[in-house]
Structure 1
């Protein structure tokens, strides 16, 4: 679900005036736009529109980008062009925008003539165009760079991934099996505000639908899933065929429901499953494997966390649902874990992921097969989506590293120790003051700059701690 490159429309803007001054300039600058797109080929699948010279051209090009289900629009000034020709498209733009403040030649030289001045005068067109975007209230990113540099590719890569995540969010459906955990305030959100401001739509799923889907599954599909688990994981010999069969049915049934209803993220709450009375165990391993396939997930009916895990997949790859469990002051780190759900794609490369038989008192059901692993040491980033009321949202972000830390042999759920770059004391003081929630997404690597662009495009306050 997250392997494809972002699909980006390249909107090249110029004006007819220069066709009379410099014959062939349109073809020349169109070639420049193609070279820019080729330069970005490793980070984006670029769709190049014809050079835009009028309001009609601009509106036609953007309608085409939107109808082609692209992720964003990269605006490139091919020459100076008055912004009023594109102002209206910015007033109704649905796709995330980046203004590439670039020019064909990186340096001014004594050999330049007036033609060269015209080819390279995009900067004041960018100023006029950016002014129109600001007046329209359109969120956008800006990249000023030499387009042939690695820095340009890196910055457009960051924006394109953010655009892909934001665009996917606008049509995201988050399924909640049963109901959310009673009394858990930091996961509460006005669902209408979430839909209006950011896009995710919440869809309630009756536990009975899950039960019926489990009963209707083909035995071959269940056996195929267990065979794949045998190949991928170190399977606990204590797990019975009945336990594994039941777990596999839950995972396949959940995925079937998500697929049929167009749902990209989901949440289950242990009480909602347990109180139904028709289920033998909680779907712990299911959450781990579905996250590994690119679905957003959060426990306890937490729609906000499920949404941000989904965004984390598309922004930085392999979003991992987790929470801060306890502080370890001697190592200046925080133990990260949850009840048993975690994306096994962030597991240590030097240790097998284990599918274990695991007693669990929560829910008062039978033992749920659980995927157990330690998180890969190295750079990592945490992000928490906070609802502030009205249509205001904040993203609290912390960079740091997962330590190559001690084993905790009694802990039977995914875990790792995260050392914030700002230290436990500074990070937690700032996290709590910002209202950071107790459920969050972790991505391997330093991704704060990626989340910052994401927030700019989505209209979310960015707060790094």
Structure 2
């Protein structure tokens, strides 16, 4: 009563001190949600480049992001990344190529020249993240007319995949909202891979989701493949890309939605990553089944007005996301 009259938020847990797994599971969820809120409050999100032309749902209010989650947004330059690529030794590059072979299933048609180009950019990314103490990154750039910048941005996928696997999620297409969603999922320890739905299989009642660019290789089904692409999908240039599916089993989707009222909210869905045919085109691709069915999932999800990207993590963590939303004092909607 007094808390309510004084405007003090509170959260109640009812149960036994001993021999009450449900009670203590709830305690653990609150503690974990508080830890993730702390991670976000102290996170330094790098923003590099510019928005994708015409992708209006992606454009974000950076001040609103800071007001909601805390943290700091660091504007970083592609020029800096390109400059960092120049001061690397052959030994460093060879060592990073060896790391690629260790972490990825590098296909035989990947040329040594492209691997070295990606290695150079990967090393520069690591240095830039260190220089600015970044905990996540949203980026997009074309580099047209500047060969150094175009060479840099067209060889960024492997390095950003490694960073994402190390707890520095990298969101392409300058998707700041999804960089935040990916960081939240990663802080909960469930991954957080960049994805969007692009097709429905009505026969199998599944939603096909994936994206070009970096993936979260720590939650891949098997080893992530590296393939050469003669032309990127909707991007400038050509180079190496990653191909993976999310681990089969339970998954959670999270979208950070910017509403028409100038607020942020969480949009959540729980489903399952299931085996089956995917497009083998050097992208992250998975098949997802939802308890409400593919058709209703798409309708209900879109009714909340999210951008077309979201973050996918392994396991069902909707209760934890609800608690985090309560701590952040934002709305949460769960479609399934």
Would you say same fold, with TM above 0.5?
yes
Aligned to 1:385: 256
Q: Is the CA contact 1:213–1:253 (under 8 Å) kept in the aligned structure 2?
A: yes
Dislocated runs of 4+, deviation >6 Å: none
Aligned to 1:424: 294
Q: Secondary structure at the match of 2:12?
A: strand
Deviation at residue 202 of structure 1 after TM alignment:
2.7
Aligned to 1:439: 309
Q: Secondary structure at the match of 2:197?
A: strand
Q: Is the CA contact 1:297–1:307 (under 8 Å) kept in the aligned structure 2?
A: no
Q: Secondary structure at the match of 1:308?
A: helix
CA distance change for structure 1 residues 212 and 183 in 2, over 3 Å: closer, same or farther?
same
Cα distance in structure 1, aligned partners of 2:140 and 2:205: 32
Cα distance in structure 2, aligned partners of 1:270 and 1:312: 25
Cα distance in structure 1, aligned partners of 2:5 and 2:279: 55
1:50-81, Cα deviation, whole Å (9 max, x unpaired):
xxxxxxxxxxxxxxxxxxxxxxxxxxxxxxxx
Deviation at residue 203 of structure 1 after TM alignment:
2.3
Q: Secondary structure at the match of 1:243?
A: helix
Out of 11, 17, 22, the position equivalent to 1:141 is 11
Question: 1:53-452 maps to which residues of 2 (within 5 A)?
Answer: 131-132=2-3, 134-135=4-5, 137-148=7-18, 149-271=20-142, 273-274=143-144, 276-278=146-148, 279-280=150-151, 281-348=154-221, 351-361=222-232, 362-365=234-237, 367-389=238-260, 391-409=262-280, 411-452=281-322
Deviation at residue 135 of structure 1 after TM alignment:
4.8
1:317-346, Cα deviation, whole Å (9 max, x unpaired):
211111112121111111111013211111
Deviation at residue 309 of structure 1 after TM alignment:
0.3
RMSD value over aligned CA atoms? 2.0
CA distance change for structure 1 residues 141 and 250 in 2, over 3 Å: closer, same or farther?
farther
**Uncovered stretches (5+) of structure 2, i.e. residues with no partner:** none
Cα distance in structure 2, aligned partners of 1:275 and 1:282: 16
CA distance change for structure 1 residues 167 and 231 in 2, over 3 Å: closer, same or farther?
same
Deviation at residue 389 of structure 1 after TM alignment:
4.5
Cα distance in structure 2, aligned partners of 1:140 and 1:307: 25
Deviation at residue 270 of structure 1 after TM alignment:
4.3
Q: Which has the higher contact order (CA 8 A, sep 6+)?
A: 2
Rg larger in 1 or in 2?
A: 1
Cα distance in structure 2, aligned partners of 1:352 and 1:193: 38
Cα distance in structure 2, aligned partners of 1:357 and 1:432: 34
**Uncovered stretches (5+) of structure 1, i.e. residues with no partner:** 1-127
Aligned to 1:122: none
CA distance change for structure 1 residues 261 and 389 in 2, over 3 Å: closer, same or farther?
farther
CA distance change for structure 1 residues 276 and 161 in 2, over 3 Å: closer, same or farther?
farther
Deviation at residue 227 of structure 1 after TM alignment:
1.4
Q: Secondary structure at the match of 1:319?
A: strand
Q: Number of aligned residue pairs: give it.
A: 330
Q: Is the CA contact 2:161–2:214 (under 8 Å) kept in the aligned structure 1?
A: yes
CA distance change for structure 1 residues 275 and 341 in 2, over 3 Å: closer, same or farther?
farther
